[in-house]
């Protein structure tokens, strides 16, 4: 197993280029199952999760050509099976986004129960509720740990669907399933994330008729057939936030290029509250924490456009180093404080009560042997190690490699002392 060795690196400085968004590209890839025509996706990051999704598509019968420079050419001219590969599905929760397009195109899908980061319960009940509203029959086969979803004799039929929670995955799945459903589908209390808008843009290029993506009400008018498309992935807002916080925690200055400020407004606002200089410039976002008197703030995670849960752990790492006490309230996932124990190994002294973490702040972190308990917690351990005295060893880095492209190279380009070693 590989691990990352991190040493105090002083203030980071320079420019970093943000890759395509992991959370956008996976549903974009799944959407190609809706058509037998060629779909081209550009700006695809080289990530472990992308490799899993390639395997998923190939299992279903698609051909995936990768030019090695971020461009995928995908054609599912024939669907050979509607059953998800158990090993791949249990490796990555996002594999469930294949359910919607397969159901729409083939009228049936059999999906093993998903895996992914252990950050809390992420059931697919809202996905299944949406499919049922479209007229599908859903059998939850717990004995074989799978769900069997079958469209009615007349195919999927559009309907009004209210989501009890604005789930990103459920919104994506229902959106794709409804593209070829008869009539009109209205998704209420839909997720508003930029990744939803990106998916809708690609689907519209493929011939779908979708309006309202990015709002809480999305209207889909079904079409008979979907076609090919050419689409570029949006920049990764979570990677953007990670490098913004890396600049802040090391008291450095970094230009984060290919970043969309509108996608990270809550992060910009909270960093400014802490005293960090954040400027939107022509080619990205400039973050400067050099010689700043940084102070504490409180954060509360919320669905978009609120503060992103995926940035909670890196922001908490930063808050351990500023003056004053902070509170971090997690409202999206019930088990997203596993990184607290790891930060405490480094001297953070954080306490947790229910879903609130209390951070005393003003701590001088020290190096330690820690784990990446999930994808974003892994990034938090790295940036904490950059600011800590001594050496930090981070294990279980396969989590990090699921979601960050050229992680070591990008940090090294900013002056970080970060090495990947085989254990």
Residue 376, marked binder: no
Report whether 247 contacts 221 (CB < 8 A): no
Residue by residue, DSSP assigns 45-88 as ---HHHHHHHHHHHHHT-EEEE-SSSEEEEE-SS----BPPHHH
| Alpha-carbon dihedral angle through residues 387, 392, 393, 398, given to the nearest 10 degrees | -10
Token pair for 47: 């990530």
Residue 123, marked binder: yes
d(CA 29, CA 66): 12
Residue 329, marked binder: no
Neighbours of 113 (CB within 10 A): 19
Among all residues, which ones are annotated catalytic?
117
Residue 287, marked binder: no
Residue 204, marked binder: no
d(CA 126, CA 148): 15
d(CA 288, CA 321): 16
d(CA 15, CA 256): 6
Residue 332, marked binder: yes
Residue 122, marked binder: yes
Neighbours of 61 (CB within 10 A): 15
Pairing state between β 326-329 and 356-359: antiparallel
Residue 396, marked binder: no
Which segments are annotated as binding site for phosphoenolpyruvate? 22-23
Which segments are annotated as binding site? 22-23, 93, 122-126, 310, 332
Which segments are annotated as binding site for UDP-N-acetyl-alpha-D-glucosamine? 93, 122-126, 310, 332
């Amino acid at each position: 197993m590989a691990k990352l060795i991190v040493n105090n690196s002083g203030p980071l400085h320079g420019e970093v280029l943000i890759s395509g968004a992991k959370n956008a590209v996976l549903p974009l890839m799944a959407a190609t199952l809706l058509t037998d025509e060629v779909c081209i996706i550009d700006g695809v990051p080289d990530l472990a999760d992308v490799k899993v999704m390639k395997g998923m598509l190939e299992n279903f019968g698609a051909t995936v050509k990768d030019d090695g420079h971020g461009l995928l050419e995908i054609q599912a001219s024939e669907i050979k099976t509607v059953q998800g590969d158990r090993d791949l599905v249990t490796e990555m929760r996002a594999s469930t986004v294949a359910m919607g397009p397969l159901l729409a195109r083939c009228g049936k899908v059999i999906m093993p129960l998903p895996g992914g980061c252990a950050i809390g319960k992420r059931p697919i009940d809202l996905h299944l509720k949406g499919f049922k509203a479209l007229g599908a029959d859903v059998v939850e086969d717990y004995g074989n740990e799978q769900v069997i979803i079958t469209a009615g004799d007349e195919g999927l039929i559009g309907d009004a669907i209210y989501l009890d929670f604005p789930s990103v995955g459920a919104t994506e799945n229902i959106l794709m399933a409804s593209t070829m459903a008869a009539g009109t589908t209205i998704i209420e209390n839909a997720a508003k994330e930029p990744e939803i808008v990106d998916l809708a843009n690609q689907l519209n290029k493929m011939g779908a008729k979708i309006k309202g993506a990015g709002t809480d009400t999305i209207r889909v008018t079904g079409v008979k057939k979907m076609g090919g498309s050419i689409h570029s992935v949006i920049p990764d807002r979570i990677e953007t936030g990670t490098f913004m916080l890396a600049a802040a925690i090391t008291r450095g200055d970094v230009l984060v290029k290919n970043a969309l400020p509108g996608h990270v407004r809550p992060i910009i606002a909270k960093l400014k509250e802490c005293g960090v200089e954040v400027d939107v410039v022509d080619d990205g976002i400039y973050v400067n924490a050099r010689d700043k008197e940084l102070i504490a703030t409180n954060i509360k995670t919320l669905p978009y456009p609120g503060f992103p849960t995926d940035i909670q752990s890196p922001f908490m790492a930063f808050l351990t180093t500023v003056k004053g006490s902070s509170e971090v309230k997690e409202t999206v996932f019930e088990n997203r404080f596993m990184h607290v124990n790891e930060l405490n190994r480094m001297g953070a002294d954080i306490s947790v009560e229910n879903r609130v973490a209390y951070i005393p702040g003003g701590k001088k972190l020290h190096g330690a042997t820690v784990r990446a308990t999930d994808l974003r917690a892994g990034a938090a351990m790295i940036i904490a190690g950059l600011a800590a005295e001594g050496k930090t060893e981070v294990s279980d880095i396969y989590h990090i490699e699921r979601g960050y492209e050229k992680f070591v190279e990008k940090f090294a380009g900013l002056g970080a002392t970060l090495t990947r070693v085989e254990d």
